Amino acid sequence: MKYDFAVIGAGPAGYVAAKKAAGAGLKTLLVEKKKLGGVCLNEGCVPSKTLLQAAKTYHHAKHGSVFGVTVDGLNFDFPKAHAHKNGVMDKMRDGIAGLMKKYKVDVIEGEAVLQPNRKIVINGEEHEADNILICTGSSPAVPPIPGIDQDHVVDSTGILNTETLPKRLIVVGGGVIGCEFACMYASVDVPVTVLEAMPEICPNLDAEIAATLRTELEKKGVEFQLGSKVEEIGKTSVTYNDGEGSKEIEGDLVLVATGRRPNVSNLGLEDIGLEFSPRGIKVDDRGATNLPGVWAAGDITGRAWLAHAASRMAEVVVNNITGRTDRMRYDAMPAVVYTSPEVAVVGLTKEEAEERGIKTRSGRMPMAINARYIAENPDEGGLCKVVLEKETNRLLGVHMVGGACSEMIFGATAMLEAELREEEIEEIVFPHPTTSEIMKDVFMGVR
């Protein structure tokens, strides 16, 4: 079959691209080897957030006494939480399927192999397209740790399908995924130890924000072993070296969360002469590869590793295919850690800006000065930091930890995209009483 546009992979890049292209009148094909929605919907964002909410609800019920709420006979029914999770995923998948139907996108289940001249073989059948978008996403990286091939050792996909609570969870890797699962299990009273090789968790975050998050997770019972390298995973324990020697820690469930790798294999990329490496397919800021008519978006490009970045990359590709100039910008790309409290950041940290030779002004305030915040989160610390360019007063970055700050980071993103300066931001009204007011307070205190 001949298509205007073929999309390989139905994750947050793929289905967004398919819908947008079909909406613009292109005859569109969407190929998926597993399930519509990709990692985000089936193995990542959506199921993890559902289970995190389950854990958070339990935690609030257990610790509601400050609000005068006490519960007798509190119970956490993990299989029921999973059922809710599965229900949410089904609903979202149905939504995507319905959307594809509505926009008359042909959806084929199967593995696609690329051929020269923009041909694709799926399930033994050859198809052709004027433009092809490769968005096959990523998979959890498997580090070479002895003992990693055991049943009780899982990756982020495996742990989302684990319906019994362990006696003790060991998390290898203190990045975003590791912290989210550590928070979830600790919230439902499972002892958790996180082993992180770096001196601080989430090394991509502002160091003070990361340290605040760690302190809050420690309050929930998460134990962190920083600067610790895992040596071996045993049947009931994990051996690690924290620089002072080998140590052993007991645990019956081990989550390995040491990053992700782009899915570049088995696509025929070598055969068509596409420029790529194990770190991803090389694209320009329009998502174009080295081959005309072949595009890539999302984790497969090895950039951003975020569902919303993948969707935006896909939009950029379709815009360029349909004649609208558009390019990918990463400088206002928000990133969130869905722990309790949440972390939400966008733009440069002060250190990043200064590394680039930009002189800065900055401000910081604890969330504890915010009325709504301490009313709702009496025992939780939090922090908001703002970075401005000294010369122009332009906003460079906003970095927050506290409460549900993921819901307000888009405001800072919009300010960054519009290149607003302190002068403009000062005139924006923030609703009272909301946690978002902390941003305004920090802006007013910048020096």
Partner 1 sequence: MATPVIMPRQGQSVESCILTEWKVNVGDQVAEGDVLAVIETDKASFDLESTASGTVLALFWEADDDVPVLANVAAIGNEGEDIEEFRPEGQGSAPAPAAAAPTPAAPEAAPQATGTPAVPAPVQASGAIQASAGVSPRARRLAHKHGIDPETLPGSGPEGRVIERDVEAAISGRPRLSATAKARSLSGDFETPARGTGLAGMVRSQDLKVPGSVEGAEVTPLKGIRKVIAERMIQSLHTTAQLTLHASFELSRAQAYRKERLDAGQSKVSLNDVIAHAIVKSLGEHPALNAHFLGDRIATFEKVHLGVAVDTPKGLLVPVIRDASEMSIEKISAEVKNLAGACREGTISPDNLSGGSFTLTNLGMLGVETFTPVLNAPEVAILGVGGIVLKPKRTESGEVEYVDTLPLSLTIDHQAVDGAPAARFLQSLVERLENNPGT
CB of 328 to partner 1, least distance (A): 10
Taking the least distance from each CB to partner 1, the nearer of 233 and 283 is: 283
39 touching partner 1, by CB under 8 A: no
**CA distances, 341 to each of 122, 218, 317 (Å):** 44, 12, 35
CB of 418 to partner 1, least distance (A): 6
Q: Residue 425 has which token pair?
A: 């931001």
Find out whether the peptide bond into 341 is cis, omega within 30 degrees of 0: yes
327 touching partner 1, by CB under 8 A: yes
329 touching partner 1, by CB under 8 A: yes
Exposure class string for 230-264: b at 16+ Cβ within 10 A, else e: beebeeebbbbbeeeeeeebebebbbbbbebbbbb
In the region spanning residues 382 to 401, those forming contacts with partner 1, defined by CB under 8 A, are 389, 392-394
Taking the least distance from each CB to partner 1, the nearer of 94 and 419 is: 419
Q: Contact letters (x/-) for partner 1, 414-433, by CB under 8 A?
A: ---xxxxx-xx---------
Residues involved in catalysis = 432
Q: Smallest Cα–Cα separation from 386: which of 403, 368, 409, 357?
A: 409
330 touching partner 1, by CB under 8 A: no
352 touching partner 1, by CB under 8 A: no
Task: Kindly calculate the radius of gyration of the chain based on its CA atoms and give it in whole angstroms.
Answer: 23
In the region spanning residues 158 to 177, those forming contacts with partner 1, defined by CB under 8 A, are none
CB of 327 to partner 1, least distance (A): 6
In the region spanning residues 236 to 265, those forming contacts with partner 1, defined by CB under 8 A, are none
Taking the least distance from each CB to partner 1, the nearer of 337 and 420 is: 420
CB of 278 to partner 1, least distance (A): 29
Q: For residue 5, which phi and psi values (nearest 5 degrees)?
A: -150, 125
Count interface residues toward partner 1 (CB under 8 A): 14
Taking the least distance from each CB to partner 1, the nearer of 34 and 286 is: 286
CB of 160 to partner 1, least distance (A): 36
Q: Smallest Cα–Cα separation from 383: which of 315, 334, 442?
A: 442
CB of 389 to partner 1, least distance (A): 8
CB of 14 to partner 1, least distance (A): 24
- The DSSP bridge pattern shows strands 253-256 and 153-154 to be parallel
Taking the least distance from each CB to partner 1, the nearer of 327 and 359 is: 327
Taking the least distance from each CB to partner 1, the nearer of 254 and 321 is: 321
Taking the least distance from each CB to partner 1, the nearer of 115 and 393 is: 393
Cβ atoms of 371 and 430 within 8 Å: the answer is no
In the region spanning residues 103 to 142, those forming contacts with partner 1, defined by CB under 8 A, are none
CB of 370 to partner 1, least distance (A): 26
Taking the least distance from each CB to partner 1, the nearer of 67 and 330 is: 330
In the region spanning residues 307 to 326, those forming contacts with partner 1, defined by CB under 8 A, are 325
Taking the least distance from each CB to partner 1, the nearer of 106 and 352 is: 352
Q: Contact letters (x/-) for partner 1, 200-229, by CB under 8 A?
A: ------------------------------
CB of 351 to partner 1, least distance (A): 20
Binding site for partner 1 (CB under 8 A): 325, 327, 329, 389, 392-394, 417-421, 423-424
